[in-house]
Amino acid sequence: MTTMKRTMTSRGAGAIFALAALPLAAANAQAADYDVGSIHISQPWARATPKGAASGAAYMTITNSGKTPDKVSCVSSDASAECQIHSMTMDNGVMQMRPVEGGLEIKPGETVTLKPGGFHVMLLNLKHPLEQGNSVKATLKFDNAGTVDVDYPIAAIGAAAPGVPAGGGTMMMQGGGAMAPTKKQ
Ligand SMILES: [Cu+2]
């Protein structure tokens, strides 16, 4: 499981293309990895949002190779007025999400994956829609490791994973009904 490639793309190259016609477009928006202290962040990505959506979500994998637990919070994002880390749980068949108070803990030696249906970076009060092929930046703060700016390449609306086209029956974030069948992607 440690064959993860460290991919650094030449910045800007992927962002300017309008690759809407290519099903694999999202795979071209390669994500960078980040290291801060003993924290490693891999495969950051975000989901495109429909026009008018109030919020969006971003995801990543965080590994703590240090000896002490760390906690991560989202400080700010260039695309939204507010940024939080949320948990998501199923309560009697209803998806509930709430802010992780005090930050999301990453124990020593632990890897936590933020992904649809689970923990996520919540971008609240979007200033503009998140468009596939662009990227969104967020500043994360780790209590021990410090602060890091992460670029999240934006995948398709409803994508289940980076580079994977939107599939049927994908769970949507809050205000969910907004997922109209769209030809845009
Ligand atoms: Cu949320």
In tens, the pLDDT along 41-94 reads 999 999 999 999 999 999 999 999 999 999 999 999 999 999 999 999 988 999
C-alpha of residue 54 to centroid of ligand 1, in Å? 11
- The single-letter DSSP state of residue 2 is -
Nearest residue to 161 via CA among 123, 113, 121, 128: 113
| Rounded distance from Cα 3 to ligand 1 centre (Å) | 30
**Model pTM score:** 0.74
SS3 label, residue 176: helix
Is residue 57 one of the residues assigned to a domain? yes
The CATH number that applies at residue 53 is: 2.60.40.1890
CA of 69 to the centre of ligand 1 (A): 23
Q: Does 9 reside within a domain? A: no
3 domain-assigned: no
Residue 54 inside a domain? The answer is: yes
Task: Compute, in angstroms, the gap from residue 58 CA to the centroid of ligand 1.
Answer: 9
- How many Å lie between the centroid of ligand 1 and the Cα of residue 83? 10
Other C-beta atoms lying within 10 Å of the C-beta of residue 41: 21
Does residue 11 lie within any of the structural domains? no
Rg (CA), the chain: 16
Contact 184, 48 (CB under 8 A): no
Is residue 90 a part of any domain in this protein? yes
DSSP secondary-structure letter at 9?
P
| Containing structural domain, residue 103 | 25-157
H helices, E strands: number in the chain: 1, 11
Domain assignment present for residue 59? The answer is yes
Which region among 11-25, 41-55, 116-130 has the lowest average model confidence (pLDDT)?
11-25
Q: Give the chain's domain count.
A: 1
What confidence tens digit (pLDDT) does each residue in 81-113 have? 999 999 999 889 998 999 999 999 999 999 999
Please give the distance, rounded to the nearest whole angstrom, from the Cα atom of residue 142 to the centre of ligand 1. Answer: 19
The DSSP symbol for 77 reads E
How many CB atoms neighbour CB 148 within 10 A? 18
Residue 84 lies in a domain: yes
